[in-house]
Chain A
Amino acid sequence: MSELLKIQNLKKYFKTPKGDLHAVDGVSFTVKKGETLGVVGESGCGKSTLGRCIVHLLDTTDGKIYFEDKNITNVSGNELKELRKDLQMIFQDPFSSINPRMTVKSIIIEPIQIHHMYEGNKEKQEKAVLEIMDTVGLARRLADSYPHELDGGRRQRIGIARALALNPKFIVCDEPVSALDVSIQAQILNLMQDLQEEKGLTYIFITHDLSVVKHISDNICVMYLGTLVEKCSSELLFKKQLHPYTQALLSAIPVAKINSKKNRIILKGEIVSPISPAPGCRFAPRCLYAKDECFILSPELKEFEPEHFVACHLY
């Protein structure tokens, strides 16, 4: 498989009165064509910022983004408009990410019109919209409805339809199911998997829900406070966690089974402020195994065993 997206030492700092907020601080990874890369972490770890930098909803502070071997870090204007055809995003909140004053049809047709697809032929464009609605499982009779008439699951389908309208190669999915009930969540996850198979899509799937990420991802990146702490295949990660944070995170998942009591690692304290962070490992203040060097030197991401990367001084 070839690399579709490559990220090198990506950094995004936000300026605040108290100093720079290091939302994403030196993240590198690659995504192969047709795979799903899961990005997990808790609120404030920078996973959404990372996704937004990739689709250029935010400018990056430092680092490089390559898409199909082309450096797209600083594209703008027409070049960026062209790029958006290939790079789309599905947003977290199906209630605030679609315009309440537009009908379902006008929401989905908007990107098609902006990009002047189907030679601007209005009939063909409308036909395409109806076909996309079929694909994502929205009944055609809903074409003239407004979002408030629909429930959360259907609205999320609109968000997916809009992302698919331009036939993209790559979609960043930012918590696409976390606002939905479990029975609806399962419908949407199945839909996304079907679309991936049909259209050969590549996903970055950002979520805080570990059972969802395991279900849908081929590879997983675990983030903590703007840094990547562990990266490997989804199967391996659930068998063998190297980083102390990953261990605690996985042990904390409530499992819907009797007698699944495992040794839960309860972390002390909470995430420290990402504003002008102290040197050393970001996780050190909460880590059970922190040594002196952890507070001085930031650990590099290194390959502990084939295809299993970890950023920790223990290894």
Chain B
Amino acid sequence: MEKILEIKNLKIEYKSNERTVEAVNNLNLLLNKGESLGIVGETGAGKTTTALGIMGLIPDPPGKIVNGEIIFEGHDILKLSKNKLRAVRGKKISMIFQDPMTSLNPVITVGDQIAESIRIHEKLSRADAVLKAKEMLELVGIPEERYAEYPHQFSGGMKQRVIIAIALSCNPELILADEPTTALDVTIQAQVLDLILKLKREKNTSMILITHDLGVVVEICEKVAIMYAGEIVEYGTTEQIYENTSHPYTRGLFDSIPDIDAKEDRLIPIQGLMPDPADLPKGCSFEPRCRYSTEKCKESNPDTQEIGNGHFVKCYNYIKRGEQ
């Protein structure tokens, strides 16, 4: 399989007065062409920061990519000049943002917002860009007659479709979708997920889907990475992660969700809270909340090890198949 994106030892920090927050810590990722990868984690795990890093959109200051490489189609994005990066961003890599209510410009018609990125990247005439934008609207299920309407005339689900249309307008190789359905109701979420799946199948686009919802991931992605406190703690195929959950944190996430098919009396929450990212523990960052922690976990941070074909876990005492 052809690699499309490879991230090596990525480290991103945010600096504020005397405090340094390590938002992303030695992150390694590999994405093949046509694959979808789900990045799952809770608030503050560093999911969005990773995506912004790939897009070259980390606000600097306070953010800074301290170390690492992001290799996209053979070139390190971090070494590209601003102009070259601009040619990649929006054209080859595009992003679907989380909040459809705030990521559109309220004073420009939705059609013109789609046409804008087409005009920038495709060198089309204004009239041709409008035609293409109308095509994109139809593609995401919005009648082209609504080209000249403004975002406030659209509902949340429709706005998210417009954002998807913008992201797809230049036929990108890679889409970063940051919580694309979190702000939507379930029936509308089902419509949007259906649309994403259909488009992915038709265009064979690679995708990174960032979400906290394990139910959404299993429907869209072939690979899953679980993030905790800036690190990937478990990585593998969807089957490996869901059927052979190995990291105690991943296990904890599954146990925290009420099971819709079974009647259980109590949930098993993960005790405690995520550590302060400016003051991470010396050993494993999950150790203070972990049920399986030992002295060794307090002392040193475990390395990532491969425990099955393409199944990686960053834990000394990972849960083996069949154990609870």
Contacts and interface: CB of A to CB of B under 8 A. Distances in A.
A256 B218 contact: yes
B283 interface: no
Interface stretch (B29-37, B79-87, B207-215): B207-215
A270 B260 contact: no
B242 A190 contact: no
A187 interface: yes
Interface string B131-159: 00000000000000000000000011110
A190 B256 CA distance: 10
Interface in B257-314: 257-261, 263-264, 266-271, 273
Most A-side CB within 10 Å, residue of B156, B189, B258: B258
Contact of A42 (B42, B187, B252, B257): B187
A42 B185 CA distance: 6
Given A190-B269, A249-B186, A257 B242 contact: yes
9 contacts: A43-B156, A181-B42, A182-B212, A183-B270, A190-B269, A211-B260, A251-B190, A254-B193, A255-B260
A185 interface: yes
Interface in A189-248: 189-190, 193, 208, 210-212, 214-215, 235, 238, 248
Contacts of B189: 252, 254
B323 interface: no
Contacts of A181: 42-43, 212
B194 interface: yes
A267 B191 contact: yes
Q: Among the interface residues A181, A212, A256, A271, which one has the most CB atoms of the partner chain B within 10 A? A: A256
Interface string B187-226: 1111101100000000000000000111111110000000
A257 B218 contact: yes
Nearest to A179: B43
Given A252-B190, A270-B188, A183 B252 contact: yes
A279 B102 CA distance: 34
A185 B299 CA distance: 30
A249 B191 CA distance: 12
A73 to B, nearest CB: 31
B243 A208 contact: no
- Main DSSP-derived SS at the B contact region: helix
B268 A267 contact: no
B190 A264 contact: yes
Contact of B257 (A182, A235, A264, A270): A182
A267 B191 CA distance: 8
B122 interface: no
A75 interface: no
A1 interface: no
B128 interface: no
B65 interface: no
Given A190-B266, A208-B186, A254-B216, A266 B42 contact: no
Q: For this complex, into which size category does the number of interface residues on chain B fall? A: 35 or more
Contacts of B266: 190, 193
Given A189-B267, A270-B188, A182 B253 contact: yes
A102 interface: no
A215 B270 contact: no
In which size bucket is the chain A interface?
35 or more
Most buried by A among B217, B243, B269, B271: B269
Contacts of A80: none
Given A190-B266, A190-B269, A258-B238, 13 more contacts: A151-B273, A152-B43, A182-B253, A185-B256, A186-B267, A186-B269, A190-B267, A238-B260, A253-B260, A255-B260, A256-B254, A258-B243, A260-B218
B268 A210 contact: no
B247 to A, nearest CB: 13
Nearest to A154: B273
A211 B186 contact: no
A214 B260 contact: yes
A183 B269 contact: yes
A153 interface: yes
A255 B257 CA distance: 10
The listed residue with most B CB atoms (<10 A of its CB), out of A43, A189, A257, is A257
B190 A210 contact: no
Contacts of A235: 263
Give the 5 A-B residue pairs with the shortest CB-CB distance, closest first: A254-B215, A186-B269, A215-B258, A256-B214, A42-B185
B259 to A, nearest CB: 7
Nearest to B220: A254
B185 A208 contact: yes
A153 B267 CA distance: 16
B73 interface: no
A183 B256 contact: yes
A183 B214 CA distance: 12
B76 interface: no
Contacts of B187: 42, 248-249, 252, 267
Contacts of A249: 186-187
